[in-house]
Chains A and B, each alone.
Chain A
Amino acid sequence: METLKLAWKNLWRNRRRTLITLTAMGFSLFLLQTFHNLSFGVYAQMIDSGVRAGSGHIAIYRGDYVKSRDEKLSFTEAGLANRVSALRGVRQALPRIYLPGLAQSSRESRGIMLMGVDPAAESTVNPFWKKLPAEQNIRSLSGRDALVGARLLKELKIGEGSKFVVTVQNRNGELSNELLRVRGVLRTGLKEVDGGMIIVGRERAAAMAGIAGEIHELAIVLDRAEDETRLLPEVWKLTADRPDLRPTPWEAAMPNLSDAIRLDYTSQKFIFVIILLIVTIGVVNTLLMSVMERIREFGVILALGASPGRLRRMVLAEALILGAVSMVLGTLLGCGSTWYLVSRGIDLRNLVPETLEFGGVVFDPVMRAAWDIPWMLQMGLYVIALCLLASIYPAVKAARIAPAEAMRHR
Chain B
Amino acid sequence: MLVSLAFRNLWRNSRRTLLTLSAMVVSSSLLILALGVFSGMFADMLASATEQYYGHLVISARGYQDDRDMFADFSDYAALAGNLRKRPEVRGVSPRLRAFGLVAHADSTYPAELLGVQPAQEQQVTSFSRQLVAGRYLDETETAGALIGAGLAKKLGVQPGDELVFLTQAADGSIGNDLLTVTGIFETGSGNRDNALVLVNLPWLQKLTVLPDRIHELAITILEPMRAGELAAPLQTNLPAGLEVLTWGQLLPEMQEVIASYNVSRLILVAILYAATGLGILNTIFMSVMERTREFGILMAMGMKPRSVQNLVLLETLAMGVVSMTLGVAAGLAMTLYMERVGVDLSPYLSAVTYAGGTILPRLSAAFEADNVTIPAFALLLVSLAAGYFPARRAARLQPIEAIREE
Q: Do A and B bind each other?
A: yes
Is A167's CB within 8 Å of the partner chain B? yes
Q: With A and B bound together, what is the CA distance between A24 and B277 in angstroms? A: 8
Across the interface, B169 reaches (CB within 8 A) one of A109, A256, A289, A292, namely: A109
- B355–A260 CB distance below 8 A: yes
Q: With A and B bound together, what is the CA distance between A298 and B282 in angstroms? A: 27
What 0/1 readout, one digit per residue, does chain B (24-67) give for beta carbons within 8 Å of chain A?
00110011001001100000000000000000000000000011
Q: With A and B bound together, what is the CA distance between A22 and B348 in angstroms? A: 42
Is A79's CB within 8 Å of the partner chain B? no
What 0/1 readout, one digit per residue, does chain A (282-307) give for beta carbons within 8 Å of chain B?
10111011001100000000000000
Is B253's CB within 8 Å of the partner chain A? yes
Collect the chain A residues with CB atoms within 8 Å of residue B113's CB.
111
- A102–B276 CB distance below 8 A: no
- A352–B261 CB distance below 8 A: yes
In this complex, what residue of A is CB-closest to B355? A358
In this complex, what residue of A is CB-closest to B279? A24
- A108–B69 CB distance below 8 A: yes
Across the interface, B38 reaches (CB within 8 A) one of A31, A267, A275, A286, namely: A267
Known: A20-B283, A23-B279, A24-B280. A259 touches B351 (CB 8 A): yes
Is B284's CB within 8 Å of the partner chain A? yes
- A282–B109 CB distance below 8 A: no
Is B2's CB within 8 Å of the partner chain A? no
Collect the chain A residues with CB atoms within 8 Å of residue B253's CB.
353
Known: A27-B276, A109-B100. A352 touches B283 (CB 8 A): no
Known: A20-B279, A173-B107, A275-B276. A191 touches B286 (CB 8 A): no
- B68–A155 CB distance below 8 A: yes
In this complex, what residue of A is CB-closest to B167? A102
Rounded to whole Å, the gap between the CB of B380 and the closest CB of chain A is: 12
Across the interface, B102 reaches (CB within 8 A) one of A24, A167, A277, A286, namely: A167
- B34–A267 CB distance below 8 A: yes
Is A262's CB within 8 Å of the partner chain B? yes
Collect the chain B residues with CB atoms within 8 Å of residue A323's CB.
none
- A278–B280 CB distance below 8 A: yes
Is A16's CB within 8 Å of the partner chain B? yes
Is A360's CB within 8 Å of the partner chain B? yes
Across the interface, A358 reaches (CB within 8 A) one of B19, B110, B356, namely: B356
Q: With A and B bound together, what is the CA distance between A21 and B15 in angstroms? A: 18
What 0/1 readout, one digit per residue, does chain A (62-75) give for beta carbons within 8 Å of chain B?
00000011100000
Across the interface, B355 reaches (CB within 8 A) one of A277, A286, A359, namely: A359
Q: With A and B bound together, what is the CA distance between A303 and B68 in angstroms? A: 89
- A27–B100 CB distance below 8 A: no
Is A137's CB within 8 Å of the partner chain B? no
Is A101's CB within 8 Å of the partner chain B? yes
Rounded to whole Å, the gap between the CB of A140 and the closest CB of chain B is: 26
How many interface contacts (CB-CB < 8 Å) are there between A and B? 179
- A285–B350 CB distance below 8 A: no
Q: With A and B bound together, what is the CA distance between A292 and B273 in angstroms? A: 28
Is A372's CB within 8 Å of the partner chain B? no
- B279–A359 CB distance below 8 A: no
Contact-residue bracket for chain A:
35 or more
- A359–B353 CB distance below 8 A: yes
Q: Is the interface of A mostly helix, strand, loop or mixed?
A: helix
- A17–B286 CB distance below 8 A: yes
Chain B stretch 285-301: residues in CB contact (< 8 A) with chain A = 286-287, 290-291
Q: Which of B112, B113, B276, B351 has the most CB of A within 10 A?
A: B276
- A101–B351 CB distance below 8 A: no
- B254–A356 CB distance below 8 A: yes
Collect the chain A residues with CB atoms within 8 Å of residue B34's CB.
267, 270-271, 274
In this complex, what residue of B is CB-closest to A189? B254
- B37–A267 CB distance below 8 A: yes
Collect the chain B residues with CB atoms within 8 Å of residue A21's CB.
279, 283
- B273–A271 CB distance below 8 A: yes
Q: With A and B bound together, what is the CA distance between A100 and B112 in angstroms? A: 10
- B254–A355 CB distance below 8 A: yes
Rounded to whole Å, the gap between the CB of A346 and the closest CB of chain B is: 12
- A191–B357 CB distance below 8 A: yes
Q: With A and B bound together, what is the CA distance between A203 and B294 in angstroms? A: 91
Known: A24-B283, A110-B100. A192 touches B355 (CB 8 A): no
Across the interface, A352 reaches (CB within 8 A) one of B257, B284, B360, namely: B257
Is B196's CB within 8 Å of the partner chain A? yes
Is B23's CB within 8 Å of the partner chain A? yes
In this complex, what residue of B is CB-closest to A262? B350
Q: With A and B bound together, what is the CA distance between A111 and B151 in angstroms? A: 15
- A281–B280 CB distance below 8 A: yes
In this complex, what residue of A is CB-closest to B353? A260
Rounded to whole Å, the gap between the CB of A175 and the closest CB of chain B is: 6
Rounded to whole Å, the gap between the CB of A368 and the closest CB of chain B is: 19
Known: A359-B354, A360-B354. A157 touches B67 (CB 8 A): yes
Is B4's CB within 8 Å of the partner chain A? no
Q: Which of A167, A282, A351, A353 has the most CB of B within 10 A?
A: A282
Q: With A and B bound together, what is the CA distance between A16 and B285 in angstroms? A: 12
In this complex, what residue of B is CB-closest to A23? B279
Is A408's CB within 8 Å of the partner chain B? no
Across the interface, A111 reaches (CB within 8 A) one of B100, B107, B169, B356, namely: B100
In this complex, what residue of B is CB-closest to A280? B23
Is B229's CB within 8 Å of the partner chain A? no
Is B168's CB within 8 Å of the partner chain A? yes
Known: A256-B353, A288-B15, A356-B254. A17 touches B283 (CB 8 A): yes
Is B203's CB within 8 Å of the partner chain A? no
Chain A stretch 219-248: residues in CB contact (< 8 A) with chain B = none
Q: With A and B bound together, what is the CA distance between A3 and B107 in angstroms? A: 82
- A16–B286 CB distance below 8 A: yes
Q: Which of A112, A358, A359 has the most CB of B within 10 A?
A: A358
Collect the chain B residues with CB atoms within 8 Å of residue A131's CB.
none
Q: With A and B bound together, what is the CA distance between A137 and B19 in angstroms? A: 66
Is B155's CB within 8 Å of the partner chain A? yes
Is A126's CB within 8 Å of the partner chain B? no
- A285–B16 CB distance below 8 A: yes
Contacts beyond the supplied A173-B108, A288-B15: 20 A-B pairs with Cβ under 8 Å: A21-B279, A24-B283, A31-B272, A70-B155, A100-B111, A101-B102, A102-B167, A108-B100, A110-B111, A155-B68, A169-B109, A275-B276, A278-B23, A279-B276, A284-B19, A285-B284, A292-B13, A356-B258, A357-B357, A360-B354
Counting from the closest, the 6 A-B pairs by CB-CB distance are A111-B111, A173-B107, A24-B279, A282-B280, A281-B23, A169-B109
